[in-house]
């Protein structure tokens, strides 16, 4: 049986997420490089590579012209790129992966990957798509931290051909990284659910900030506006890509939300106190039920 501490890990993209994953692997799986195991890092940004190397977060660094050599040595490759770049990278470097390697990604929309599956996987490489449900409004390696995964959810979408022992290793790994709930599903369910819990929330937060009449309005706030809009400190290129790549699911959730909002607005405009109270009481009960099953509440 393969052991996580004997693996050579390859992190493709040392941004906020890749950097954080590398740091968490270093802290919890592979404290020092061993005869068997090590952490290798690739990024187009030379400064990120140097910082990661200097901090002993990765043991060796690779640039675009050497990344195939890195991939050929890795037992586990984490692709930590934007959604389209993930597909492009997997296609371009398909031949370089080591036979038997486990490969995973962190892309927030999976339809892109699943519609390109033929072009990106090799039968002798175990690609296990996944989505770590953690992150924050910061960007880049300098902001990465191995602690951002604690008590968070991980969504994993094994393929029909995924080897059970590799799926088991994958789950062991993300548990060591701090994730406490692993949800197994498929790409369609993932994209549908994520369009609600993540993309719709970012859309709403962004529209709320857009609708603010000035930037001084928080002097009148008690924290609600701040809580609702922290995620509006958004990485514009990344979220543009996520919104568009999952637009059908997202648009259907926006429609749903607009209908819920319209009903509330109608009650307020019509001064229907009775219906308003019923609506709000139902919302309170629903949200309380959600917080009971939220392990991080």
In the region spanning residues 89 to 118, those forming contacts with a copy of itself, defined by CB under 8 A, are none
**Is 82 near a copy of itself (CB under 8 A)?**
no
Q: How far is the CB of 214 from a copy of itself (least distance, A)?
A: 9
Using CA atoms, how far apart are residues 237 and 239, in angstroms rounded to an integer?
A: 6
- Nearer CB in complex with a copy of itself: 69/268: 268
204 sits near a copy of itself (criterion: CB under 8 A) = yes
Strands 126-127 and 38-42: unpaired
Residue 159 lies near a copy of itself (rule: CB under 8 A): no
* Distance between CA atoms of residues 12 and 44, nearest Å: 9
**CB of residue 5 to a copy of itself, shortest distance in Å:** 28
Shortest reach from residue 250's CB to a copy of itself, in Å: 6
Instruction: Please say which residue, 75 or 191, places its beta carbon nearer to a copy of itself.
Output: 191
Give the phi and the psi of residue 61 in degrees, each rounded to 5. -120, 150
165 binds a copy of itself (CB under 8 A): no
All residues at 6 or more sequence positions from 7 whose CB lies less than 8 Å from its CB, including other chains = 29, 30, 36, 37, 74, 75, 76
CA distance 207 to 218: 16
The verdict on 253 binding a copy of itself (CB under 8 A) reads yes
Q: How far is the CB of 212 from a copy of itself (least distance, A)?
A: 7
Contact 190, 107 (CB under 8 A): no
- Name residue 40's beta-bridge partners: 10, 60
Q: Is 264 in the site for a copy of itself (CB under 8 A)?
A: yes
Is 186 a binder of a copy of itself (CB under 8 A)?
no
How would you write 145-207 as a 3-class SS string? Answer: CCCCCCCCEEEECCCCCCCHHHHHHHHHHHHHCCCCEEEECCHHHHHHHHHHHHHHHHHHHHH
Q: Does 177 bind a copy of itself (CB under 8 A)?
A: no
CB nearer to a copy of itself: give 73 or 202.
Answer: 202
Q: Which of 56, 150, 188, 284 binds a copy of itself (CB under 8 A)?
A: 284
Candidate list 54, 66, 145, 260; residue touching a copy of itself; CB under 8 A: 260
How big is the site for a copy of itself, counted in residues (CB under 8 A)?
92
Which CB, 96 or 133, lies closer to a copy of itself?
Answer: 133
Helix (H) / strand (E) containing 226: helix 224-229
Instruction: Round to whole Å and give the CA distance between 211 and 44.
Output: 37
Scan residues 119-148 and list those touching a copy of itself (CB under 8 A): 133-135
Q: Count CA within 13 A, CB hemisphere, residue 147.
A: 1
CB closer to a copy of itself, 38 vs 229: 229
| Nearest to a copy of itself of 96, 209 (CB atom) | 209
Residue from 5, 4, 10, 26 nearest 144 by CA: 26
């Amino acid at each position: 049986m393969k052991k996580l501490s004997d693996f050579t890990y390859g992190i493709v993209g040392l941004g906020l997420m890749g950097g954080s994953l590398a740091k968490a692997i270093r802290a919890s799986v592979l404290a020092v490089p061993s005869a068997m195991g090590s952490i290798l890092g690739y990024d187009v940004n030379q400064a990120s590579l140097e910082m990661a190397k200097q901090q002993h977060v990765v043991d060796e660094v690779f640039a675009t012209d050497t990344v195939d050599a890195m991939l050929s040595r890795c037992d586990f490759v984490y692709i930590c790129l934007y959604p389209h770049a993930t597909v492009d990278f997997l296609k371009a470097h398909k031949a370089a992966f080591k036979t038997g390697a486990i490969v995973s990604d962190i892309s927030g929309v999976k339809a892109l990957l699943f519609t390109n599956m033929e072009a990106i996987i090799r039968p002798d490489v175990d690609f296990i798509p996944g989505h770590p449900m953690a992150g924050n409004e910061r960007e880049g390696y300098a902001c990465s931290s191995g602690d951002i995964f604690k008590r968070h959810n991980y969504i994993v979408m094994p393929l029909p051909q995924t080897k059970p022992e590799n799926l088991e290793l994958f789950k062991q790994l993300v548990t060591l990284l701090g994730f406490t709930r692993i949800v197994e599903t498929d790409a369609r369910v993932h994209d549908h659910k994520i369009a609600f819990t993540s993309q719709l929330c970012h859309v709403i937060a962004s529209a709320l900030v857009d609708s603010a009449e000035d930037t001084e309005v928080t002097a009148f706030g008690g924290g609600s506006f701040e809580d609702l809009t922290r995620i509006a400190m958004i990485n514009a290129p990344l979220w543009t890509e996520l919104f568009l790549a999952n637009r059908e699911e997202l648009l259907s959730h926006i429609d749903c939300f607009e209908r819920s909002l319209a009903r509330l607005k109608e009650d307020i405009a019509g001064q229907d106190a009775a219906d308003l109270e019923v609506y709000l009481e139902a919302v309170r009960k629903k949200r309380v039920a959600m917080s009971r099953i939220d392990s991080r509440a």
